[in-house]
A and B are shown apart, each in its own frame.
Chain A
Amino acid sequence: MKVSQVVDALEWRVLAGAGKLDSEVNGGYVADLLSCVMAGAQSGDLWITLQTHANIVAVASLLNISAIVVAEGAPVPETTLSKAEEQGVPVLSTAEPVYQTVARMVELGI
């Protein structure tokens, strides 16, 4: 399943990287500690987090994460979004909490 299909199905907002939603989603990973993400997230994962600092983009880019999903509708600083645009990392937003977000991803078969 492609990132764009997940975005459509779960009605997420695309905050950055609208042109980069074509990559395949291989799975998901949840963490707010960057070192955990570094250790555990796989290439192609959707990374669900509440973290919005610009460094999430560097982490996602180094790991070839398919998209960052910011849960709880947490506001994402402009610096993060511009860095994400620059590096071609999609930043998506959902108003739902992490638990519901994951549950709906599982329903989709991710």
Chain B
Amino acid sequence: MKREFSFLGFTGRGGALSKIHELVREMKVARVMTSSFYSLAPTATMKELEDLLREHRISGAPVVVNDKLVGIVSIEDLIHALERQELDAPVADFMTSEELILARAQEPVMEALRRFEQTGIGRMPVVNGQGKLVGIITRGDITMALLHALQDLYTEAEQIQDRAQFFFDALESEATSLQLRYTVEKGNFARGGDASAKIKRALLRIGASPQLSRRVAIATYEAEMNLIIHTDAGGLILADIQPAEITVVAQDSGPGIPDVELARQPGYSTATSAIREMGFGAGMGLTNIDRCTDSMSLWSVEGVGTRLQMVFKVTPAETGESERDCEAT
């Protein structure tokens, strides 16, 4: 069995499941259905149906006029015809033409699956937006498509793990860490949160739990917005990711905080009214950061700059119930 790679010592278990969810939700019927199928005209005889079913070992066929679906005829209908000895009658006499259970090419596979479950039928004709018959879908088609997609997913995940494993194994050092660096522009609200989002994505990719990624993202976002709102010329965000600990530093070159103790008090803010109108300046930034980090230190000198260091411990047991989850208090 392949060793599961995770730089951060443990893997986010939600990952694979949510991918499967995504697959089932997003995969369209059109991708799964069989587009080659046998159909009959309503004028074909039940004898012709019998031959078709026997020859291709199928249990039913759609009935079409000018590519439009007008009915479905199955092996049960054939049995009825046999009982009444009416094999020369047209298919139109025996087919089901009302309340047809069908699938639409552009609907998610999930919906089709639900219909299979509700009705207990084995196959459905697939029509496009214009009611034209474009394929047939069976429960088996869905299962096979999901299995294939799953296989691809695992192969892809394995390749990523192999590459990452190889990369880190090839490095010899006393302590290996991954460093990420982002420049944050002053006043660029349109890109506010970009650096935090990238750090969060990176953490999830290398195996951090959603909870750990979340508290790093929240704290980093507050620090990022502080650089955008309060600095003279923007600043830098540096993330140093180690297997047991993540450190994020936000630093700038001014103007500096005159009274650090005051700045750390909940509700204290120097934001202008224009900035408050955008929803910032609640004076809760540093309080939020404090709650999301395992330790933080704020160093600032007026006219020189500010350096905020946030440390997050990586704990394998971090769950949704964690006390340091930055959730509501």
Residues of A within 8 A of B (CB): 22, 32-36, 38-40, 42-43, 49, 51, 53-59, 61-64, 79, 83
Cross-chain contact of A55 among B222, B279, B284 (Cβ < 8 A): B279
Say whether B327 contacts A42, CB under 8 Å. Answer: yes
Q: Give min CB distance, A19 to chain B, whole Å.
A: 9
Say whether A38 contacts B288, CB under 8 Å. Answer: yes
Say whether B279 contacts A32, CB under 8 Å. Answer: yes
Cross-chain contact of B284 among A36, A42, A53 (Cβ < 8 A): A36
Chain A residues with CB under 8 A of B218: 38-39, 62-63
Chain B residues with CB under 8 A of A61: 193, 197
| Chain B interface main SS type | helix
B291, CB-defined interface residue at 8 Å: yes
Say whether B278 contacts A51, CB under 8 Å. Answer: yes
Closest chain A residue, CB of each to CB of B276: A33
Closest chain B residue, CB of each to CB of A87: B197
Say whether B328 contacts A58, CB under 8 Å. Answer: no
Say whether A33 contacts B284, CB under 8 Å. Answer: yes
Chain A residues with CB under 8 A of B287: 35, 39
Contact A53:B279 (CB < 8 A) given known A35-B285, A43-B214: yes
Closest chain A residue, CB of each to CB of B280: A34
With the chains together, A64 CA to B197 CA distance in Å? 11
Given contact pairs A35-B282, A58-B194, A64-B214, a sample of 14 additional A-B residue pairs in the complex whose CB atoms are under 8 Å apart: A34-B225, A34-B279, A34-B280, A38-B326, A39-B284, A39-B326, A40-B328, A54-B192, A55-B192, A55-B225, A57-B193, A58-B192, A61-B193, A61-B197
With the chains together, A42 CA to B329 CA distance in Å? 12
Interface residues of B in 173-196 (CB under 8 A from A): 189-190, 192-194, 196
Cross-chain contact of A39 among B194, B200, B210, B288 (Cβ < 8 A): B288
Say whether B279 contacts A51, CB under 8 Å. Answer: yes
Q: Give the total of B residues in contact with A, Cβ under 8 Å.
A: 30
How would residues 208 to 231 of chain B score, 1 for a CB under 8 Å from any chain A CB and 0 otherwise? 001000100110011001000000
Chain B residues with CB under 8 A of A49: 279
Closest chain B residue, CB of each to CB of A61: B197
How would residues 275 to 315 of chain B score, 1 for a CB under 8 Å from any chain A CB and 0 otherwise? 00011101111011001000000000000000000000000
With the chains together, A53 CA to B193 CA distance in Å? 13
Contact A35:B288 (CB < 8 A) given known A53-B189, A58-B221: yes
With the chains together, A63 CA to B194 CA distance in Å? 13
Say whether A36 contacts B190, CB under 8 Å. Answer: no
B31, CB-defined interface residue at 8 Å: no
Say whether A55 contacts B193, CB under 8 Å. Answer: yes
B25, CB-defined interface residue at 8 Å: yes
Q: Give min CB distance, B327 to chain A, whole Å.
A: 6
Cross-chain contact of A62 among B196, B279, B280 (Cβ < 8 A): B196
Q: Give min CB distance, B264 to chain A, whole Å.
A: 14
Chain B residues with CB under 8 A of A64: 210, 214
Contact A58:B197 (CB < 8 A) given known A35-B222, A39-B288: yes
Chain B residues with CB under 8 A of A34: 225, 279-280, 282
Say whether A39 contacts B221, CB under 8 Å. Answer: no
With the chains together, A49 CA to B283 CA distance in Å? 19
With the chains together, A86 CA to B283 CA distance in Å? 30
Cross-chain contact of B200 among A22, A43, A59, A62 (Cβ < 8 A): A62
With the chains together, A97 CA to B179 CA distance in Å? 46
With the chains together, A57 CA to B282 CA distance in Å? 18
Chain A residues with CB under 8 A of B200: 62
Closest chain A residue, CB of each to CB of B189: A55
With the chains together, A38 CA to B289 CA distance in Å? 10
Q: Give min CB distance, B314 to chain A, whole Å.
A: 19
Cross-chain contact of B328 among A22, A32, A33, A42 (Cβ < 8 A): A42
Say whether B282 contacts A62, CB under 8 Å. Answer: no
Chain A residues with CB under 8 A of B284: 33, 35-36, 38-39
Say whether A36 contacts B282, CB under 8 Å. Answer: yes
Cross-chain contact of B291 among A32, A39, A54, A79 (Cβ < 8 A): A39
